[in-house]
Amino acid sequence: MVYHIGGEFDSNVVYYPHWNASAKGEVKTKRKSFSWTEITQAIAEKPLLLGIRQGFMYMVPLLIIGAVIVAVLNIPIDSFQNFMLDTFGEGWKTFPLIVHGAVMQVISLSAVLCIGYSIACGEKLVEDGIIRTVYPVLTAFVSYIAFQPLGEVADAAVSARAAGASSMFTATVIAILSVKLFLFFYKKYDAAFPEHAYTYNGNSTLRQSFHMIPPILVTVLIFSGANMVMHYTGASDWIRAWFADAFHDLFFNNDLPSVILIVLITQLLWFFGIHGGNAFLEAYANAQQEAEAGGAALSAYPKEFFDIFVYYGGAGTTLALVIVLLFFGMKRSSRSLAKGALFPSLLNINEPLVFGLPIVLNPYFLIPFLAAPVAAACIAYFALNAGLVPFPSASVAWTTPIFVSGYISTGSKAAILLQLVCLLVAVVIYMPFVSIARQAAESRYREDFRLMEGQMSYLQSLQMPKVLNRSDEAGGVARFLAREIAGAISYPQKADGLHIEYQPKSAVDGRVLGAEALLRWVHPDFGYIAPTTVLGIADEAGLSNRLGRWVIRQALTDMERWRRAGYEDLSLAVNLSPTQLNTDGRLGDFIGEALQSLGIPPGMLEFELTENATIEKTDRLHGTLKKIRERGSDISIDDFGMGHSSLKYIFDFCANVVKLDTSLVQGLTEGEDRRIIVRAILDLCKRLGVRVIAEGVETEQQLAIAAELGAEAFQGWYFSKAMKYNDFLEYVDSHREGEKP
């Protein structure tokens, strides 16, 4: 479905080119220095980090499901817990725990699959279709199992530590290394022993499966060997002991540097995908046992100090991040994630943000993820030591919400005020970094849009518009825009930039005869979106009929408004497409009912047929057009004289108006040959009783020649570009006496 674009460039809207400047051979000048934002963006856009973050994003549904279940099960309200117990019995937690176990207790295994898939999809061998994605993903999964400590794998079962969140870092590293190693060995093996094309009865799947055996085997053997080395050298035990020792002495100290180091170590573990909370708890429990056994005093800053005054919303004080995202994040994506993470964050559960935003390995959030909890710890440290707030004396569940936890643990309202101050400071710390991340995300989103637009334009030129079913970013943007279009035509008050503009049709003296209704979309994120893109998406999404009716309804409603305002002599042209004409069985009746309900004379309406490919005549299309003509409206052929349009269209589609193609009109000043062609068309149309409109008029010379040859009305930037409703009526008022521009 293609509505006439108008053929002019509008300086008031934003256009995004389909090409990359660097691809055009432009020389980039070297800069001596870069801002922190540019350096961060350069690091964040590295394909490897993008692949890791994309893999974590695939896991967002599981993370949110698991987080919500944990949050509900641990709501620290006795009345709620008692109600659930009385209503469903002692086993009321069993069913949700089964679901939780299914999604969260195997989260590291899920990470191997998701990250392995994401990394593999970015590799050229996979992109080119030489290797099916399933092989590197399977290799990553098996390699992860092969790397598990010997004592933790028995009866083909993976240990809880290996499957759960504690091993997320190991899962990430092995997913990356295994995919890279597999592809490396595949290239070496394939170079030495090329795959034969006609073995195994021509079955390509079986043929490639056999060809994958050596690279898969070598990759898995490497990780199995690494596992043996780790086991027999005791390296794995040494690594765990190192993490425990990193915390150990700090828990016995009462000074601020120790508190800060505890926070920094925990945060850094989280940032690199290691469950910092588990490491903290394990080290704290060991230190507490040692203190009790030796009669020594543990730090005056117990676990409750960190839970109550530092980790609002979980590690990283991420409740502050949720607040910032809700108010300052991207209009859709970040806010949607923040809404989903809000309830778990209120109960200090933040896996959806840490792994879903994600914060892990995301340089945009490294500084605030470290600085926000450190700032909170410092503020709380000084407040407690100054006696402004009592030290925590009562233990509270780690899921107790902010403010409630402070009051219960200290028995003081001052603790609530302290928590509020710490939270506000964290919000201020996160704000500039969220802004930077938002700008980078919007830039990437526009790039994805340009990719989608370019691919759709290319496929439309081949008559193969298939973008919505793609699994890449272009397909994602196209599906997002399809939902926006569906929402706009269902709820016009929420059209969000989708609207109709009117380009005047003028007499040779400049007097306005009517207007053509043109579809326009100035998107809040992408700026101006070409109508061909909008309509291509609508065609693929099955929205052509609904969008076409929306355009007709909007245009006729505006026409009724200007007729009531006294502009009864202005005609209106509305575009139709063969897609709509061939599939909307009640289109003719819909138009008739709309005209009757609005009191618009059918003779003041013109319906244009426009298409960038041959229009196939069908009984339904011919019947609809015949009904429109019999009711008294005109049918015009757009872009007449070039491309696919032909004289045959006049007879096949009941046309009584043609619009000369822009290229013919603008070529009138280039030589006598062009004028001869146009004169012949105009003479033939005159004999057939068909009126001619010259569109694309940009100069006074083009206007004069077209008028001399016999054109009856004119459109183009010489007169005016397309305008919104109020601007159009102002233009009509200023040209009532027929003054030329």
Residues 6+ away with beta carbon under 8 Å from 168: 107, 108, 111, 273, 274, 275, 355, 360
CA angle 698, 4, 656 (to 5 degrees): 90
- 643 or 88: whose pLDDT is higher? 88
Identify the three-state secondary structure at position 254.
Answer: coil
The token duo for 61 is 């549904």
| Closest by Cα among 471, 515, 710 to 605 | 515
Confidence of residue 362 (pLDDT cuts 50, 70, 90): confident
CA atoms within 13 A on the CB side of 574: 22
Q: Residue 24: what pLDDT?
A: 36
Q: How far apart are the first and last CA of the chain?
A: 33
Please name the amino acid found at residue 696.
G
| Closest by Cα among 382, 375, 381 to 430 | 375
Residue 530 has pLDDT above 50, yes or no: yes
d(CA 253, CA 256): 9
Contact yes or no for 144/199 (Cβ under 8 A): no
Contact yes or no for 222/181 (Cβ under 8 A): yes
Q: Calculate mean pLDDT across residues 560-586.
A: 88
Q: Calculate mean pLDDT across residues 85-106.
A: 87
Q: Count the neighbouring beta carbons within 10 Å of the beta carbon of residue 469.
A: 9
Q: Which residues pair with 657 in a beta bridge?
A: 636, 691
Question: For all residues of the chain together, what is the average pLDDT?
Answer: 82
CA dihedral sign, ordered 497, 500, 503, 504: negative
Residues 6+ away with beta carbon under 8 Å from 279: 243, 247, 265, 266, 269
d(CA 721, CA 10): 8
Ranking 134-143, 421-430, 530-539 by mean pLDDT, the lowest is 530-539
pLDDT tens-place string over residues 588-626 = 889 999 999 999 999 999 998 865 455 667 777 778 888
**DSSP assignments along 431-449, one per residue:** HHHHHHHHHHHHHHHHHHH
Domain boundaries, the chain: 47-238, 251-261+281-443, 496-734
Identify the three-state secondary structure at position 140.
Answer: helix
Q: What are phi and psi of 706, to 5 degrees?
A: -60, -40
Q: Which residues pair with 573 in a beta bridge?
A: 516, 606
Residues 6+ away with beta carbon under 8 Å from 208: 131, 132, 135, 195
Contact yes or no for 706/665 (Cβ under 8 A): yes
d(CA 217, CA 220): 5
Confidence of residue 428 (pLDDT cuts 50, 70, 90): very high
Residue given tokens 């069993």 in the structure block: 94
pLDDT tens-place string over residues 373-397 = 999 999 999 999 999 999 888 888 8
Contact yes or no for 340/322 (Cβ under 8 A): no
Confidence of residue 423 (pLDDT cuts 50, 70, 90): very high
pLDDT tens-place string over residues 687-699 = 888 899 999 999 9
The percentage of the chain sitting over the pLDDT mark of 70, rounded to a whole number, equals 84
Q: Calculate mean pLDDT across residues 196-214.
A: 71
**DSSP assignments along 258-291, one per residue:** HHHHHHHHHHHHHHTTS-HHHHHHHHHHHHHHHH
Q: Residue 366: what pLDDT?
A: 92
Range with the largest mean pLDDT of 90-99, 312-321, 422-431, 727-736: 422-431
Q: Which residues pair with 515 in a beta bridge?
A: 504, 572
CA distances from 394 to 391, 414, 436 (A): 9, 15, 40
d(CA 675, CA 669): 8
d(CA 568, CA 604): 9
Q: Calculate mean pLDDT across residues 675-683.
A: 87
Q: Which residues pair with 576 in a beta bridge?
A: 609
The token duo for 179 is 């995919």
Contact yes or no for 508/707 (Cβ under 8 A): yes
Q: Calculate mean pLDDT across residues 397-418.
A: 90
Q: Calculate mean pLDDT across residues 727-737.
A: 88
Residue 359 has pLDDT above 70, yes or no: yes
Q: Calculate mean pLDDT across residues 481-498.
A: 81
Contact yes or no for 578/523 (Cβ under 8 A): no
Q: pTM above 0.85?
A: no
Q: Calculate mean pLDDT across residues 386-414.
A: 89
Radius of gyration (Cα) for the chain, nearest Å? 34
Residue 152 has pLDDT above 70, yes or no: no
| Closest by Cα among 504, 498, 509 to 729 | 504
| Closest by Cα among 277, 286, 272 to 244 | 286
The token duo for 358 is 């994600």
Q: Residue 277: what pLDDT?
A: 75
pLDDT tens-place string over residues 55-69 = 888 888 888 888 888
CA distances from 685 to 229, 650, 673 (A): 88, 9, 19
d(CA 608, CA 658): 9
Q: Calculate mean pLDDT across residues 630-636.
A: 89
User: What are the helix (H) ranges across 508-567?
Assistant: 531-541, 544-564
- 93 or 461: whose pLDDT is higher? 93
Residues 6+ away with beta carbon under 8 Å from 521: 497, 498, 499, 528, 529, 531, 534
Q: Residue 186: what pLDDT?
A: 93
pLDDT tens-place string over residues 328-342 = 765 555 677 788 788
Residue 355 has pLDDT above 70, yes or no: yes
**DSSP assignments along 574-600, one per residue:** EEE-HHHHHH-TTHHHHHHHHHHHHT-
Residue 241 has pLDDT above 80, yes or no: no
Q: Residue 158: what pLDDT?
A: 74
Residue 723 DSSP code: B
pLDDT tens-place string over residues 293-319 = 777 666 667 788 888 999 988 888 999
Q: Residue 66: what pLDDT?
A: 85
Residue 30 has pLDDT above 50, yes or no: no
Q: Calculate mean pLDDT across residues 174-199.
A: 86
Contact yes or no for 438/42 (Cβ under 8 A): no
Q: Residue 648: what pLDDT?
A: 72
Q: Residue 174: what pLDDT?
A: 95
Contact yes or no for 511/741 (Cβ under 8 A): no
- 268 or 237: whose pLDDT is higher? 268
Q: Residue 28: what pLDDT?
A: 41
CATH number for the domain whose boundaries are 496-734: 3.20.20.450
- State yes or no: cis peptide before 358, omega within 30 of 0: yes
Q: Residue 11: what pLDDT?
A: 34
The token duo for 97 is 């725990």
d(CA 643, CA 461): 13
User: What are the helix (H) ranges across 147-275?
Assistant: 160-163, 168-192, 204-233, 235-248, 256-271
Q: Residue 155: what pLDDT?
A: 52
Residue 644 has pLDDT above 60, yes or no: no
Residue given tokens 């890279």 in the structure block: 180
Q: Calculate mean pLDDT across residues 463-482.
A: 74
Q: What are phi and psi of 109, to 5 degrees?
A: -65, -40
Question: Pairing relation of β-strands 657-660 and 634-640?
Answer: parallel
Residue 446 has pLDDT above 80, yes or no: no
